[in-house]
Amino acid sequence: MLKRVSVIGLLAVISLGCQSQGQIAGNQNKNQSAEISTPKITNGTLKSYKEVITSEAKSDEGLFTTHFVGDKLYFEIPLNLLEKDMLLVSRIAKVPSGFGGGYVNAGSKVNEQVVRWTKRGQSVDMKIISFENQSDEESPIYQSVVANNFFPILYSTKISAYNRDSTAVVVEVNSLFENDIDAINGISPALKKRYKVKKLDSNRSYIESANSFPKNVEVKHVMTYEAEEPPERGQAGTISLLMNQSMVLLPEDMMQPRLADYRVGWFTTKKYDYDSEELKSDDYEIIRRWRLEPKDVEAYKRGELVEPVKPIVYYLDPATPEKWRPYFKKGIEDWNVAFEKAGFKNAIIAKDPPSKEEDPEFSPEDVRYSVVRYVASTTRNATGPSVTDPRTGEIIGSSIIWYHNHLRSYRNRFMIEAGAQNPDARTLNTPEAEIGEMMRMVIAHEVGHALGLPHNMKASSAYPTDSLRSAEFTQKYGLTPSIMDYARVNYVAQPEDKNVRFIRMMGPYDLYSINWGYRYLPGATSMKDEKKTLDKWIAEKAGDPIYEFGGGYDRVDPQSQRESLGADQVKASEYGLANLKKVVPNLMEWTAKDGYGYDDLDELYGELTNLWRGYITHVITNVGGVYETRKTSDQEGVIYTSVPKSTQKDAVNFLNTHAFTTPQWLLNHELLDRIESGGAIERVQNLQTRSLNALLDEDRLKRMVSNEQVNATQAYTPLEMMEDLRKGIFSELYAGRSADAYRRNLQRSYVDAAAQYVKKVKEDANDAVLKTDIIALMRGEMERLKRDINRQKNRTNDNLTRYHWNDLVARIDVGLDLDS
């Protein structure tokens, strides 16, 4: 049988925020280690073992035996581990206050890469290996793949000695951990620039500890940098980090990869097969998942629930407050329902942190332990990163990060979006049952990422909007078919709706995706053998929106958006806005604390304004929007469909009514006079101008132009949209009324936006928009508006409004005059 070999150069992966990262994968060349011969030691060439590893050495046996001799660290590397694939995971174990703006914390992973220790004469090199490009050893093209994917050397050191029976090399590795090596340090180039880092101070950088275990080596080392502008002034021109390097031996008995399919959402690893019969390299992706295999395969085949050989175990951080631990555990073990759909019971287990007596080696930084980290930080976020074997996509470890102040995020959202409907939300001290349930679902969401699942922003559009007002429906099905959607609080429910569910929960899509990715297929001996079954499962759910996937990051599909709820975004935003109007008059009462100021009121009001902007954005996406239904070539129907004309017109009508009119409900001066001396006009101007610019986005207008050419009779054309928008934004002009300051600002923004397009003719002759109808449309709109103003401007008795109309005419003249 031909042996598969995969090669490429360096891959550095960084993980920050609520996001996860892709890896590359392939297979290991297991034969190479057999070629290493026992050394012949010549007197005088190398020192003896006892000369290097003296009686004062502090040693720890494991994968490598580590030796501290004074302040020098030696690795004793068995020869049979040379050329073996190991995963080097770099994490920050301790971090200074304010580092990375609060999004880099103790436990943050900064890099992971596969390395191999190799012998070269009297030296040992550590090479960075990757597995993206593939070829069979005996294939002719193999030589070219090897020649064009040379492995870089990350680190090199001289052999100090061999052990007593010459079965291992002894090398000093201080310079690996005490020098500023980009591939393993904790400060990215961007942060070095931000903090004006000058250099690593070798006198204040040192190895703190080294521990060896059967399959991994853990090294902690302090890195101290001189910096002109450290995160906080009190840090005296210094940034010190405690780094943890985990070196893990990857299994030779590799998990069978599973081919990805873009119709089901998974984090993936891309690969290129140069032995493909296609007239190009065969590129494909494999999913990232834990290795779950049934203890009793025969019982599993019979359809019985079977425990996995090795369950997924998450430990709670010792720093986790006792009162929150039950909610964290529930959030982790909620996924057992999904794994049961895949045929496994007790597949995922949550445990309290072990005591020193129970497990003296336990460390949250040890990659052998998957831990839910509780971070004492003002950052308001949570993340779910994982560590993956890039050869097969096997997840081998994970650290869920919960930042303490994320509690504040959910308290605020609950008050703003549910305060009108739910009395429990009308306090800064959210009852434990509600805040605990929110924490539980956040942890479940992040564990979903660590199981391999990305965001599925399309899920929320599967449910009819009005169903979210039903107690029976929401208690049974939740707010969305997937916990991996951003659908945090039920803002659709109205005050008259009783006993509805307000907090998201796991749904049918989650069970479906876990079954698709984790169900064990004992009869399949390769990825291709599995594909027919996997495709069949997708085909069985085709056409049902509950089982559709969409990432929601291109801002084109209105059914695939962050924070949106329900199939009808216009209706959902109307419901959400109706609730906000009821909340604003009550915010002072709900946030008041005797003896304290109005900081909480200021914070809640600002977040409420941002949520209003979010509702507006959900509606804007419908204009020029395109629905995406992921399909393969064997399925009937198209993938992309333009949003119906009626829906787009409804969206613009909503914007004219709710976004571009003066929001008197928001301008509550009893409230504003307690939090600011001024600024309401500027705040509303910024919000309305951003919404207008988003509506007039170039890509949106291009899609509308294109759709008009394809569906001339059914398309909502850019001209119709501009006419509807003009009549709404300039309604005072056509009605002969005065315009207030907020509307005058918006009307100026409208003219400025149109003028910016026309100016492109002069400023950038190569701009692609010049080849479209957009310039003509904007020029025509300004000319039309100018005529209308000149005809209508004297109908008002308000002098300032007449000055404003004259000013707009002057602005239009400047915008149309390309010679000035």
Residue 24 has pLDDT above 50, yes or no: no
pLDDT of residue 552: 80
CB contact at 8 A, 84 and 33: yes
54: left (phi over 0), alpha (psi -120 to 50) or beta: beta
Q: How confident is the model at residue 107 (pLDDT cuts 50, 70, 90)?
A: low
Q: State whether residue 575 is helix, strand or coil.
A: helix
Q: Distance between CA atoms of 453 and 287, rounded to whole angstroms?
A: 9
Residue 188: strand pairing partners: none
pLDDT of residue 39: 53
pLDDT of residue 36: 47
Per-residue pLDDT, averaged over 249-269, amounts to 94
Which of 450, 345, 331 has its CA nearest to residue 396? 450
Q: Model confidence over 208-241: pLDDT tens digits?
A: 999 998 889 999 999 999 988 888 766 778 888 9
Residue with the bigger pLDDT between 66 and 279: it is: 66
pLDDT of residue 86: 94
Q: How confident is the model at residue 103 (pLDDT cuts 50, 70, 90)?
A: low
Strands (E), 569-644: 626-628, 640-642
181-to-178, 194, 198, 219, 374 alpha-carbon distances in Å: 9, 19, 14, 15, 29
Q: Distance between CA atoms of 331 and 317, rounded to whole angstroms?
A: 15
User: What kind and span of H or E run contains 86?
Assistant: strand 86-94
Which of 760, 763, 762 has its CA nearest to residue 775? 760
207-to-107, 249, 730 alpha-carbon distances in Å: 18, 22, 69
Counts for the chain of helices (H) and strands (E), in that order: 24, 25
Q: 500 CB contacts (<8 Å, ≥6 apart)?
A: 421, 468, 469, 470, 471, 474, 475, 490, 493
Residue 148 has pLDDT above 90, yes or no: no
Residue 110 has pLDDT above 70, yes or no: yes
Q: Distance between CA atoms of 254 and 26, rounded to whole angstroms?
A: 10
pLDDT of residue 190: 85
pLDDT of residue 491: 98
Would you state the structure tokens that stand for residue 736, as one six-digit string? Answer: 């002969």
Q: State whether residue 215 is helix, strand or coil.
A: coil
Strand pairing category for 133-136 and 268-273? parallel
Q: Model confidence over 429-473: pLDDT tens digits?
A: 999 999 999 999 999 999 999 999 999 999 999 999 999 999 999
Q: 91 CB contacts (<8 Å, ≥6 apart)?
A: 107, 108, 109, 110, 243, 244, 245, 246, 365, 399
Would you state the structure tokens that stand for residue 760, as one six-digit string? Answer: 């492109």
Q: Model confidence over 330-345: pLDDT tens digits?
A: 999 999 999 999 999 9
Half-sphere exposure of 135 (CA within 13 A, CB side): 18
pLDDT of residue 279: 45
Which of 190, 199, 234 has its CA nearest to residue 101? 190
Q: Distance between CA atoms of 467 and 479, rounded to whole angstroms?
A: 9
Would you state the structure tokens that stand for residue 30, as one six-digit string? Answer: 């297991």
CB contact at 8 A, 267 and 454: yes
pLDDT of residue 142: 43
Q: Model confidence over 576-601: pLDDT tens digits?
A: 999 999 999 999 999 999 999 999 99
Backbone angles phi, psi at 769, to 5 degrees: -65, -20
Q: How confident is the model at residue 366 (pLDDT cuts 50, 70, 90)?
A: confident
pTM comes to: 0.86
Q: Domains of the chain: which residue ranges?
A: 4-36+49-254, 297-567, 641-816
pLDDT of residue 769: 75
Strands (E), 369-431: 370-375, 382-383, 386-389, 394-403
Which of 481, 403, 477, 473 has its CA nearest to residue 442? 403
Q: 181 CB contacts (<8 Å, ≥6 apart)?
A: 154, 155
Which of 36, 528, 588 has its CA nearest to residue 261? 528
Residue 250 has pLDDT above 50, yes or no: yes
pLDDT of residue 298: 97
Residue 104 has pLDDT above 90, yes or no: no
Query: What does the DSSP 8-state code read for residue 344?
Result: B
Would you state the structure tokens that stand for residue 559, as one six-digit string? Answer: 């059914």
Query: What does the DSSP 8-state code read for residue 63?
Result: S
Residue with the bigger pLDDT between 88 and 100: it is: 88
pLDDT of residue 2: 34
Residue 711 has pLDDT above 90, yes or no: no
Residue with the bigger pLDDT between 388 and 2: it is: 388
Q: Model confidence over 731-782: pLDDT tens digits?
A: 999 999 999 999 999 999 999 999 999 988 877 766 777 778 899 999 999 9
Residue 147 has pLDDT above 90, yes or no: no
Residue 149 has pLDDT above 90, yes or no: no
pLDDT of residue 539: 96
Query: What does the DSSP 8-state code read for residue 89?
Result: E
Residue 141 has pLDDT above 70, yes or no: no
CB contact at 8 A, 683 and 609: yes
Residue with the bigger pLDDT between 363 and 334: it is: 334
Strand pairing category for 86-94 and 109-120? antiparallel
Q: Model confidence over 644-668: pLDDT tens digits?
A: 999 999 999 999 999 999 999 999 9
pLDDT of residue 17: 39
Write down the mean pLDDT value for the chain: 88
Task: Give me the residue label for tokens 């009162």.
Answer: 323
Give CA torsion, residues 371, 372, 375, 380, to 10 deg.
Answer: 140
Q: Distance between CA atoms of 718 and 732, rounded to whole angstroms?
A: 23
pLDDT of residue 174: 95
Q: 679 CB contacts (<8 Å, ≥6 apart)?
A: none
Which of 635, 99, 653 has its CA nearest to residue 378? 99
Helices (H), 255-374: 297-301, 325-333, 336-341
Residue 352 has pLDDT above 70, yes or no: yes
Report the share of the chain in percent with pLDDT over 70. Answer: 89
Q: How confident is the model at residue 277 (pLDDT cuts 50, 70, 90)?
A: low
Q: 245 CB contacts (<8 Å, ≥6 apart)?
A: 88, 89, 90, 91, 177, 184, 218, 219, 220, 221
Would you state the structure tokens that stand for residue 345, as one six-digit string? Answer: 């019971």
Of the ranges 185-194, 300-309, 474-483, which one carries the lowest mean pLDDT score?
185-194
Q: How big is the chain by its Cα radius of gyration, in Å?
A: 31
Residue 167 has pLDDT above 70, yes or no: yes
Q: Residues 35-70, buried b or exposed e (16+ Cβ, 10 A)?
A: eeeebeeeeeebeebeebbeeebeebeebbbbbbbe
400-to-208, 374, 389 alpha-carbon distances in Å: 25, 9, 18
pLDDT of residue 95: 75
Task: Give me the residue label for tokens 């291709």.
Answer: 528
pLDDT of residue 9: 34
